[in-house]
Amino acid sequence: MTTAALTTGRTSQPTRPVKSSFPAIANEAGWRCHGNLWSNLQEVCELLRIPAPAASADEEQLFQHVRFKAGQRVHTIGQDFETLYIVNSGFLKTVLIDEYGNEQVLSFPMKGDLLGIDGIHNQHHASEAVALSDCDIILLPYKTFSALGRSYAELEQAMFSVMSRELVREQLMIGMLSALSAEAKVARFLTSLGERFSQLGYSGKSFNLRMTRHEIGSYLGLTLETVSRTLSAFNELGLISVDQRQIALLDIHALKTLRRLPPARARIKISEKISEKVSEKVSEKVSALVGKNLLPQWNKEVAVV
């Protein structure tokens, strides 16, 4: 299908808001295929969204790029930890494998994300990073990084900040996993994906999912069927449009504030009413329903000493 073709084309190399003024290397796909690419510290910092240390141009340190094909592993559980990884392009998942060999998806890293932090402790990786599309990854050998930290105190500081950021992200994930309904989980998953895409310069309202329903379900603590059903429900309500992995967010506000969908029988009425009116009213309708089943679980908790 056209969709499919478009999708693959896009995942492998989306048109990039390039900062073309770079002298050494421009981030263009064509340049890479014949060999490796290298990035300097400044590029790395930019990618990680941390302030670059004032470059002392003499001791210019370069970092190697490595390409992974979809399905390949960047690192595996138990593997010796030697290097951190920064995603320059492509999409991945990180997973935990439990005692029975089942995957538990922990995150879906993309451009600008840092991989491998979990290996610092124990010198072994606790999780596994798998490429969901072809990826371009920058190697940041931990020894090199440590040495650099000694020269640039800001760098060390920035790395603490990145790790802290990651920790907060996981905390929010924990909160979401234990407190939200299936619908709310899926809704937030979609909006947060959208936000990440738009931060990278892509459309935050229309994008392709790089992962299967199963992987989404694992990430959110749901079954793939529940994910599929929830997406279908959102689609019927006009909150999103979904065709396989092609997603368009139609009512981001409703998705963000949604806590629980009305029961199916009530929903039918709504969509009937919708068909009578202009579709712009959907947002209001749904918003009105949002907040009905508020505080189903922790509502008795009051944050007072």
Partner DNA sequence: CGTGATGTTGACGTTCTTCAATAAATGTGG
Partner DNA sequence: CCACATTTATTGAAGAACGTCAACATCACG
- List interacting residues with a copy of itself (CB under 8 A): 3-4, 71-73, 95-98, 100-104, 106, 117-121, 126-128, 130, 146, 149-150, 153, 156-157, 159-168, 170-175, 177-179, 214, 218-223, 294-295, 297-303, 305
CA distance 87 to 138: 6
In the complex, the smallest distance separating the C-beta of residue 263 from DNA, rounded to whole angstroms, is 5
Residue whose CB is less far from DNA, 199 or 244:
244
Range 196-207 burial, b when 16+ CB lie within 10 A, else e: bbeeeebebeeb
Stretch that binds DNA, among 10-18, 120-128, 188-196, 222-230 (CB under 7 A): 222-230
Residue whose CB is less far from a copy of itself, 28 or 195:
195
83 binds, among DNA, a copy of itself, none (CB under 5 to 8 A by kind): none
Using CB under 7 A, which of 45, 110, 138, 182 touches DNA?
A: 182
CA distance 16 to 202: 8
163 binds, among a copy of itself, DNA, none (CB under 5 to 8 A by kind): a copy of itself
In the complex, the smallest distance separating the C-beta of residue 38 from a copy of itself, rounded to whole angstroms, is 25
In the complex, the smallest distance separating the C-beta of residue 166 from DNA, rounded to whole angstroms, is 26
Between residue 285 and residue 304, which ones bind DNA under the rule CB under 7 A?
Answer: 293, 296-297
Q: Decide: is 223 part of the binding site for DNA (CB under 7 A).
A: yes
Q: Decide: is 205 part of the binding site for DNA (CB under 7 A).
A: no
In the complex, the smallest distance separating the C-beta of residue 241 from a copy of itself, rounded to whole angstroms, is 27
Contact 241, 282 (CB under 8 A): no
Query: Token pair of 187, please?
Result: 């809704």
- Alpha-carbon distances of 118 from 79, 112, 221, rounded to whole Å: 11, 17, 21
Which has the closest alpha carbon to 61: 90, 114, 16, 24? 24
Q: Count the Cβ atoms, other than its own, within 10 Å of residue 126.
A: 15
User: Which positions from 3 to 32 touch DNA by CB under 7 A, shown as an x/- string?
Assistant: -x--x-------------------------
CA distance 83 to 141: 4
Query: Token pair of 188, please?
Result: 């937030």
22 binds, among DNA, a copy of itself, none (CB under 5 to 8 A by kind): none
278 binds, among a copy of itself, DNA, none (CB under 5 to 8 A by kind): none
CA distance 277 to 281: 7
172 binds, among DNA, a copy of itself, none (CB under 5 to 8 A by kind): a copy of itself
Residue with tokens 């009578």: 276
In the complex, the smallest distance separating the C-beta of residue 157 from a copy of itself, rounded to whole angstroms, is 7
Query: Token pair of 65, please?
Result: 């790029």
CA distance 128 to 170: 16
Q: Decide: is 92 part of the binding site for DNA (CB under 7 A).
A: no
164 binds, among a copy of itself, DNA, none (CB under 5 to 8 A by kind): a copy of itself
Which has the closest alpha carbon to 127: 185, 189, 79? 79
Which has the closest alpha carbon to 120: 93, 94, 146? 146
